[in-house]
Structure 1
Amino acid sequence: MTAAQRRTFTAVFASAGVLLGTAACSSSPAGVAGPGALSYDTVRATAQKLHQDRQNTCPFGLDLGKALKAAGLPDAVGPDTGNGSAVDGEVGDGRPPQPWPTGATHPPEMPSIPATPPNADITCAYRAGGSSLAVELFAVPKTGVAVNLLLPRIQSQARASVSQLRQLADHQPGPGQTVLVPGADTAALARLAPKGEGDIVLMLSEDSAGDTPDRTYTGEGLRKAAEALAGQLR
């Protein structure tokens, strides 16, 4: 499968997952947490502000240094301002159902790619020695679909194969749970219990230059750091 084919497959799979999101998550939200500190509206408003006025401090009190220290990892990190600023926000207004790409195989019960809801995305970039680390907060107003919509980004950061991506989609973390994404052990995902309706996920990932990740910030240590970050938002 070429890179272009994989991107197309992943985008289609993620969109289809919106329709199947409730079923895909039905086995994962065991031990559902109570209302969290963040709502979709709060994340969206903050993302809009950051898009217009970017800054170098991650919002909502997120402190990666403290999270890394709690996980037993080197905690000497600083903002990565290589793109002008370390923190950015983006918002999307969603889209109506779309036709499937020409030649794409799809379930008969899905004559079109399902509609996608509005969303908000905040990314905080860091440098730690020779490593690049990213904290990403992604929120939607619809319950149970944030992971599905974030699959293309998750695949890239986790260096995951299509089968590994399917594994994550079938076994997603429930609210209050954190998992290491199948792949190169370079991404961890935490699902937050939102305040009100919606779905919020936090991803911590390591993205060193080249094909070989820096093993300092991978595996179980990365998962524990993501868990600590999510704990800062409860």
Structure 2
Amino acid sequence: MTAAQLTAAQRRKLTAVFAAAGIALGAAACSSSAGGVPGPGALSYGSVRSTAEKLQQDKQDTCPFGLDLGKALQAAGIPGTATPDHEYGHAVQGSVGDGLPPQPWPSGASHPPAMPSIPATPPHADVICAYQVGTARLDLELFAVPQPEVAVNLLLPGIQRAAGLPVAALQQVATEQPGPGQTRLLGSKGTAALARIAHQGEGDIVLMLSQNPSTGEPDQALTGEPLRKAAAALVDQLH
């Protein structure tokens, strides 16, 4: 479907998402790094990007950076075993992007007068580790950018899908983001948890643990505070 074929409701929804991300991107350009004080061996944008690039060539089923979902579930008091999910081949996937220049708004979409185009986006690196836990699929995602305080905004479409958020709640996520080392539960169903990672150097790195909505109704044992605790345990593994 092209932008011209979008319904009026879809255009409004898309505009709101872009506006939330774009306004936050503009504000972040003038802000300081959200990296916090990293510990020994802490991640950097460069390490995430180089790992994502390697994963495009050397496929694997073991999540990098010492991330162990099984131990995180145990720490959160969640029963069950986490096994690599092979629905899309190997359980661990990496992708990178080189960023985009400013883009025109979709045809027929309204936009803030001070924002004549969708703002430029920085390069990014993404690592996703997929697991099967009972009948549910859990996705563990590390998303990194070289520009401070914009990773959450660029991840908004994925956050909306994982947490099932309406546009107003998505805008709230863009406005009230977790600080370095903080882990926050997203959405009324509690199917996604988001953390900002303390890191080395410039940039921004976030971790999201979520139930993949493609598996149907959420597994209640993997929602809410237990899911948030599991995400927090994964963050601790990175320290």
TM-score between both structures, scaled by the size of structure 2: 0.88
Partner of 2:46: 41
Task: Rate the CA distance shift 1:220–1:203 in 2: closer, same or farther, 3 A.
Answer: same
For the residues of structure 1 that align with 2:118 and 2:183, how far apart are their CA atoms? Answer: 29
Question: C-alpha displacement at 1:207, in angstroms?
Answer: 2.0
Q: Verify the 8 A CA contact 1:21 1:145 in the aligned structure 2.
A: yes
Matches within 5 A, 1:14-53: 14-21=21-28, 33-36=36-39, 37-53=42-58
Unpaired runs of 5+ residues, structure 2, are 1-7
Question: C-alpha displacement at 1:92, in angstroms?
Answer: 0.3
Q: Verify the 8 A CA contact 2:15 2:109 in the aligned structure 1.
A: no
Query: Residue type of the partner of 2:38?
Result: P
Query: Residue type of the partner of 1:116?
Result: T
CA displacement, residues 126-172 of structure 1 (integer Å, 9 cap, x when unaligned): 00110100100000000000000000000000111111111111110
Aligned residue among 189, 193, 196 for 1:188: 193
2:234 is aligned with 1:229: yes
Task: Rate the CA distance shift 1:121–1:95 in 2: closer, same or farther, 3 A.
Answer: same
Let me know the Cα RMSD of the aligned residues.
2.2
Q: Verify the 8 A CA contact 1:39 1:198 in the aligned structure 2.
A: yes
Partner of 2:60: 55
Task: Rate the CA distance shift 1:68–1:7 in 2: closer, same or farther, 3 A.
Answer: farther
**Mean alpha-carbon deviation: is it higher for 105-114 or for 138-147?**
105-114
Question: C-alpha displacement at 1:122, in angstroms?
Answer: 0.3
TM-score between both structures, scaled by the size of structure 1: 0.90
Partner of 1:151: 156
Question: C-alpha displacement at 1:209, in angstroms?
Answer: 4.3
Partner of 2:173: 168
Q: Verify the 8 A CA contact 2:99 2:124 in the aligned structure 1.
A: yes
How many corresponding residue pairs? 229
Question: C-alpha displacement at 1:108, in angstroms?
Answer: 1.9
* % identity of equivalent residues: 57
Runs of 4+ in structure 1 over 3 Å off: 1-9, 20-23, 208-211
**Mean alpha-carbon deviation: is it higher for 162-171 or for 132-141?**
162-171
For the residues of structure 2 that align with 1:194 and 1:221, how far apart are their CA atoms? Answer: 25
Aligned residue among 75, 79, 82 for 1:70: 75
Partner of 2:221: 216
Aligned residue among 119, 122, 135 for 2:127: 122
Q: Verify the 8 A CA contact 2:19 2:111 in the aligned structure 1.
A: no
2:85 is aligned with 1:101: no
SS in 1 for 2:184: strand
For the residues of structure 2 that align with 1:220 and 1:33, how far apart are their CA atoms? Answer: 25
For the residues of structure 1 that align with 2:197 and 2:89, how far apart are their CA atoms? Answer: 29
Unpaired runs of 5+ residues, structure 1, are none
For the residues of structure 1 that align with 2:77 and 2:229, how far apart are their CA atoms? Answer: 9
2:207 is aligned with 1:202: yes
